[in-house]
Amino acid sequence: MSTPLDLQGRHIVLGLSGGIACYKAAELTRELVKAGATVQVVMTEAATQFITPVTMQALSNRPVALSQWDAREPNNMAHINLSREADAILIAPASADFIARLVQGRADELLSLLCLARPIDRCPLLVAPAMNREMWAHPATQRNVAQLRADGATVLGPGAGDQACGEIGDGRMLEAEELRDELIAFFRPKLLAGRTLLVTAGPTFEAIDPVRGITNHSSGKMGFAIARAAAEAGADVTLVAGPVHLPTPRHVRRIDVQSAQQMFDAVLPLAARHQLFVATAAVADWRPMNAADQKIKKDGSGRVPVLQMTENPDILASVARLPEDRRPWCVGFAAESENLVRHARDKLRRKGVPLVVGNIGPATFGQDHNTLVLVDEAGETTLPEGPKLHLARELVREIARRSSPKTT
C-alpha cells in the first residue's frame, strides 16, 4: 500500500550492476516513476548483459548513462553532474563485486565513480544486495557489507527464497514494491525515532461452534497503515492483528490472534514494555459464554438456540489503568454508526485516555480511504478524507507531537 506521489519532487539515480536481478529494476523504475520520482538510470557494462538500456530508457523517460566518457554532458563530467542532481543514489541490484568496489573506493567505471564523487552529506547511498546465497554468506561479503554500513550507506535487504541458480536462501534482491516502500520510508521524517509503539488492528472472532462465530467488518487496513507509518517514522513497532489477510509492513513485528481474549492476553504483557499504544482493532464487546464442541445444527423444530453471552475484557481501559511507570501513552479508536463526536468523547472519558480517534465504521470498513476525527479534552480536530496511509502518517505526526515530553 502506498499513496500517490509519495516521492513527488525526488530525483533518484538508479544504478544497475551485473546480475539476473536486473529484471526487477524495470518494475522498480516503473514504481518509482508512478510514485512521483524522476529516475536517472546508470548501468554498468555487466548490467547491459541482463537488461537493455533501451528498456530502462523507455521506463524512465531519460537516456541511460553508461560511460564516464559520455560526450552528451557539456563538461564531460557525468560522474559529477549525476550525483549533484540526485536526492539519493539507489544501487539495485548491487552485486558482490560492486559492493566490493564501493568499499575499496574503486572508480574505474561510471557507477562506482559517481558513488565516490557524490556529496556524502546531502546525497545518501542506498544499496540492495543481489547474489547467490553462498556469495552473500561469504566472510568477505559480510566484511564488505559491514564496512559499507560503517561508511554511511543504507543496506536494503537482501531477501530470502528461490534463486536463479536453483538454490534457496538469503541473497535475493528485494522486490520492486518493497524497494519502493523502503525508499519512501527513508525520506519520511523520523518523528518517533527511538520510541516503541504497540498497535492492534482488525476484527476479533468469537467462536460459537467450530465453524461459526461473531465478528465484524473491520479489514485491519487502518491499523496496518498506522503500523507502517510508525515504522517509517523510526519507531520500533509491534502489531497485534486479528484475523485479516494483509501483508505485514516491513520492519514490523506481528502477532496474530483470533479472539478478544487472545488479543487481551497478547497486549497486556507487551503494553508495559512500549511507550505508545494505539488501539485500532475493532474488538468484540461480548462472546458466547460456552462455545459448542460440534457444529450446532437445525433440527427442523424451528427453535432457535439461545446463546448465553459474557463480556470480553476491555483492552484499552486495562492498558490505561496500568501503573504510571508502566503505562504507555494511549490512543483509542471509536468506530461508530452515529453521533460520532459524542460517542468518541464518552469513550475518551470512560477509558481515561488522552486521545480518541473516531470514524464512521460502516463507511470505512474494508475501504482504502477514511475520515478521522481526533477527540481530546480540548476539542475536536478533523483529518479530511484521504488514503488510510496518508491519514496514518498524519495521526503519527499528531501522536509524536502530543506525546513528546514537555520541555521548559
Q: Which three cell numbers stand for residue 264?
A: 487481551
Give me the active site residues, please: 165
**Domains in the chain: ranges and CATH:** 11-187 (3.40.50.1950), 196-403 (3.40.50.10300)
CB 81 within 8 A of CB 75: yes
CB 30 within 8 A of CB 59: yes
378-to-52, 273, 295, 333, 354 alpha-carbon distances in Å? 60, 29, 50, 17, 10
Q: What is the DSSP string of 150-203?
A: HTTPEE---EEEE-TTS-EEEEEPPPHHHHHHHHHHHHS--TTTT-EEEEEESB
CB 347 within 8 A of CB 332: yes
Determine how β-strand 355-360 pairs with β-strand 369-376: antiparallel
Q: pTM value?
A: 0.90
The pLDDT profile of the chain, 408 residues, written as one tens digit per residue, is 556 689 999 999 999 999 999 999 999 999 999 999 999 999 999 999 999 999 999 999 999 999 888 778 777 777 887 899 899 999 999 999 999 999 999 999 999 999 999 999 999 999 999 999 999 999 999 999 999 999 999 999 999 888 888 888 899 999 999 999 999 999 999 999 999 999 999 999 999 989 899 998 899 999 999 999 999 999 999 999 999 999 999 999 999 999 999 999 999 999 999 999 999 999 999 999 888 888 888 877 778 888 888 999 999 999 999 999 999 999 999 877 777 888 889 889 999 999 999 887 766 777 888 889 999 998 989 888 899 999 999 999 999 999 976 543
